[in-house]
Amino acid sequence: MKSKTPEELRLMREAGRIVALVHQKMAEIIQPGITTKALDDVARQIILEAGATPSFLNYQGFPASICASVNDVVIHGIPDHRVLNEGDMISIDVGACYKGYHGDSAWTYAVGKVSREVQTLMETAKQALFQGLSKARAGARLTDISHAIGTYLEENNCSTPEQYTGHGIGSHLHEKPAVFNYGLQGRGPLLKKGMTIAVEPMVIAGKRQVDTLQDGWTVVTRDHSLAAHYEHTIVITDDGYEILTQL
Ligand code: MG
Ligand code: MG
């Protein structure tokens, strides 16, 4: 994994800003009664108007600009005419490509008033992301991040689907290395200033086993327990990290 040049980072900051604009809008408009297709339309419009392209649209055949994953859907939910109901939770994953460079970020939103169970899972998953990020700095090893996420999830009786990971990111949406959400610390590449990665714990309230539906994309929990997903694209700095996918 090579460090990005200052010019590359400038483009990734802009891609990240556009992704963050989409999330800002999602937070505003997600409410009971809206369809996931409507969310996708709004997201695509924001990305295009900002002079970028949706990273996910047509990626390996994916048919939309966002992944919209409701309740027991972990990741890769396809937007459709499903209407969101009070009490649902929805994970929105979105990527934008600006002048050849990508930003990628996921966030889970409550739909109206949600149960204590949903609130707790969302909080745990968000904390898992920031526990992982707290280990990101020049001189650390990649799996220091993985280990921090994994131990935090264990302590909070949650699980993660082991086959899905974060990733390097840059001129490709998914670059090496994989950023696992569990495992031993002190392994993998040495982190250096200017490296860019997407850290993204997928967090399940129940068991870690998942299945892919017949559409070939939608990943659901086998035990139908709830799942949440938080992701930021970051750049490694000397004393920590900078989040690229925020305003
Ligand atoms: Mg993503
Ligand atoms: Mg990602």
pLDDT along the chain (247 residues), means of 10: 97 98 98 98 98 98 98 98 98 99 99 98 98 98 98 98 98 98 98 98 98 98 98 98 98
| Gap from CA of 168 to ligand 2 centroid (Å) | 9
| Gap from CA of 117 to ligand 1 centroid (Å) | 24
Instruction: Give which of 125, 103, 144 is closest to 202, Cα–Cα.
Output: 125
Task: Give the pLDDT confidence score for residue 161 in this predicted structure.
Answer: 98
CATH, domain 6-243, list 3.90.230.10, 3.20.20.10, 3.40.50.970, 3.40.50.300: 3.90.230.10
Report pLDDT digits (tens) over 141-164. 999 999 999 999 999 999 999 999
Tell me which ligand sits closest to the C-alpha of residue 19: 1
Tell me which ligand sits closest to the C-alpha of residue 198: 2
What's the pTM? Answer: 0.98
